[in-house]
Amino acid sequence: MKSAPLILSLLLLLILANRIAAQDLLQFMQQRPEIKQIEEISGNHSFKHTYEIKVRQPLNYADTTAGFFLQRVFVSDKQAESPTVLITEGYDADYAADPAYINELTEILKANQICIEHRYFGESYPDSIVWKYLTVENAANDDHRIVELFKPYFEGKWLNTGISKGGQTALAHRTFFPDDVSLTVAYVAPLNFGVEDGRHEVFLKTVGTQADRDSIQNFQLEILKRRESMTVLLKELCEQKGWDSKLSYDQMLDFMVLEYSFAFWQWGYHISQIPPLKSNDEELFAHFIKVSEPGYFTIQGSKKYQSFFYQAARELGYYGYDTEPFKEYLSISTAKGYLNRYMLPVDHPVEYQPETSLQVDKYLKNDARNVLLIYGETDPWSASAAKLNNDPSMIKIIAPSGSHSTRIKSLSPTTKNDAIAFIRSVILK
């Protein structure tokens, strides 16, 4: 009957060990002067402990006299010797405050997890916004400082990862600091070379079948043909939501129609979801605003994307609209330059600077190793997918019929197993 006391003793030792390990991480962070706030998030049973912290970061790494800001970071401790998954978020990281949140790569590797909220998003704004300091290189330096801060504690191999703009952020971080991590896994991450890159419009002319594209275009045309009733419904919705826009309701309707085909394919809608063209106004409008969200073109609805719009205009690039099929029914004379004219948080045009995208492109085509890119076949962002060199460790997966929601877990069984095997071969060997 000695087994019961022995088991109890082992349980007590395990609890004590967990407390010591958690205390070690807490003490480690408390001893770092850059870390200004530490708050524990309880309830995530995948880790010993999860912390939400604020790290003091320079606004401009080229001149630290420009000041500092507090960047929100989430740190989840599995085991100091385990791998670490670094999530380079491209926007806010509110989701990481969920006690149950765990990245799929973290699960695959049984890893520690660090999620970095992007500067100028969420709670990571400076007290006074100076837009010129919102650069890809400064954001890469933010990520690098977090790596430098925690590598002495998390001793296993590191990888960085991100989705969409977060994937762009991961690729840029790897370009500027190639030795920070052993592997980069970027999901649906575009690499654009212009404010209106041009490849996305071409993509939308070939994606799916001709019948699919005809159905989408016919729906867009039907919305425009019902302009009078559609603008009434749009006005009612905006007033109900308290939305204002730099656009008139006619202009907003035009841009929503132009956006519709991009959003339709991006988010994996099916042609069967398009209502019959003989449907009443309310039925057409309900589907229309579900796919092409009107808040995107309003001041209040797009507030959380203002920093992104600035980055897109300055360095990240974006997409344009093909107005030719709709010109007979549009109220606008052109869609050219719409990002600078209607979407930016500043009242002056922002000049696009291609150097950063070209630098990332050069790195991926020449020097990079251990990079996994995952795209969805029907996602318009795959039109500007990054190109890789021919090293065997450089892998691009394009999921058949996949959308912008494509992840490892959504791949076919064989492809998923191959991707996981590759990741484990790099990180766990």
Residue 253 corresponds to which tokens in the numbers above? 């309707």
User: What angle do helix axes 281-291 and 210-225 make, rounded to 10 degrees?
Assistant: 120
Helix H or strand E segment including 338: helix 338-338
Phi/psi region, residue 14 (left: phi>0; alpha: psi -120 to 50; beta: rest), is alpha
Q: From residue 234, give the alpha-carbon distance in Å to each of 218, 258, 288.
A: 20, 16, 11
Q: Cα separation of 170 and 281, whole Å? A: 44
% of the chain surpassing 90 pLDDT: 93
Neighbours of 394 (CB within 10 A): 17
Which of helix, strand or coil describes residue 381? Answer: helix
251-266 pLDDT, tens digit per residue, is 999 999 999 999 999 9
Tokens 């001041």 sit at which residue?
299
pLDDT at 429: 86
CATH topology of domain 16-193+355-427: Rossmann fold (3.40.50)
116 secondary structure, DSSP code: E
Q: Cα separation of 79 and 46, whole Å? A: 11
Residues 6+ apart with CB under 8 A from 249: 231, 234, 235, 238
Mean pLDDT of 30-49: 96
46-66 pLDDT, tens digit per residue, is 999 999 999 999 999 999 999
Q: What is the mean pLDDT of the chain?
A: 96
pLDDT at 20: 44
Which residue type, as a one-letter code, is found at position 261?
A: S
Q: Global pTM?
A: 0.93
Residues 51 and 74 sit within 8 Å (Cβ to Cβ) = yes
Confidence tier at 16 by pLDDT (50, 70, 90): very low
pLDDT at 84: 99
132-166 pLDDT, tens digit per residue, is 999 999 999 999 999 999 999 999 999 999 999 99
Residues 177 and 184 sit within 8 Å (Cβ to Cβ) = no
pLDDT at 4: 62
pLDDT at 354: 98
DSSP string, 25-46: HHHHHHT-TTEEEEEEE---TT
79-108 pLDDT, tens digit per residue, is 999 999 999 999 999 999 999 999 999 999
Residues of the chain with CATH 3.40.50.1820: 16-193+355-427
Of 370, 379, 426, 417, which is closest to residue 398 (Cα–Cα)? 379
pLDDT > 50? residue 76: yes
pLDDT > 90? residue 387: yes
Neighbours of 89 (CB within 10 A): 26
DSSP string, 191-205: --SSTT-SHHHHHHT
pLDDT at 49: 96
